[in-house]
Amino acid sequence: MPCPTIRNMTELAVSVIVPAHNESAGIGRLLRLLTMGTSDAEVEVVVACNGCSDDTADAARAFEGVLVVEIPDASKRLALEAGDAAAHHPTRAYVDADVAVSRRDLMILVGTLTGGVLAAGPERRLSLGSSSWAVRWYYDVWQRLPQVRAGLFGRGMIVLSPEGHERVRGLPSVMSDDLAISEAFADSERAIVQSAVVVIECPRTVRDLVRRRMRIATGNSQLDAMGMRSAASRTSVSDLLSIATASPALAAKVALFVAVTSIGRLLARRRIQQGDFTTWLRDESSRG
* pLDDT at residue number 97: 94
265: in domain: no
117: in domain: no
What does pLDDT average to over the chain?
A: 90
Rounded to 10°, the helix 237-244/248-273 angle is 150
57 Cβ contact partners less than 8 Å away, ≥ 6 residues apart: 47, 49, 68, 70
* pLDDT at residue number 167: 94
With cut-offs at 50, 70 and 90, classify the pLDDT of residue 41: low
Q: What percent of the chain has pLDDT over 70?
A: 91
Residue type, 270: R
198: in domain: no
As a whole number of angstroms, the distance between CA 136 and CA 127 comes to 10
Q: What percent of the chain has pLDDT over 90?
A: 72
* pLDDT at residue number 77: 86
* pLDDT at residue number 281: 61
* pLDDT at residue number 3: 38
Q: Express each pLDDT in 275-288 by its tens digit.
A: 776 666 666 777 65
238: in domain: no
53: in domain: yes
Question: By residue range, what is the domain housing residue 19?
Answer: 1-97
Beta strands in the chain (DSSP E): 14-20, 43-50, 66-71, 92-95, 99-100, 119-127, 157-160, 190-201
Whether residue 4 is predicted with pLDDT greater than 90 in this model: the reply is no
Which helix (H) or strand (E) segment holds residue 180: the answer is: helix 177-183
With cut-offs at 50, 70 and 90, classify the pLDDT of residue 172: confident
Q: Express each pLDDT in 64-96 by its tens digit.
A: 989 999 999 988 888 999 999 999 999 999 999
Structurally, how many domains does the chain consist of? 1
* pLDDT at residue number 277: 65
Chain length of the chain: 288
30: in domain: yes
* pLDDT at residue number 173: 82
Q: Bigger pLDDT: 3 or 99?
A: 99
Cβ–Cβ under 8 Å, residues 26 and 96? no
Minimum mean pLDDT range among 30-44, 194-208, 219-233? 30-44
Cβ–Cβ under 8 Å, residues 157 and 94? yes
47: in domain: yes
**Overall average pLDDT of the 161-178 stretch:** 90
With cut-offs at 50, 70 and 90, classify the pLDDT of residue 162: very high
58: in domain: yes
Where residue 53 sits, what CATH number does that domain have?
Answer: 3.90.550.10
Assessment of whether the complete model's pTM goes beyond 0.85: yes
As a whole number of angstroms, the distance between CA 207 and CA 137 comes to 14
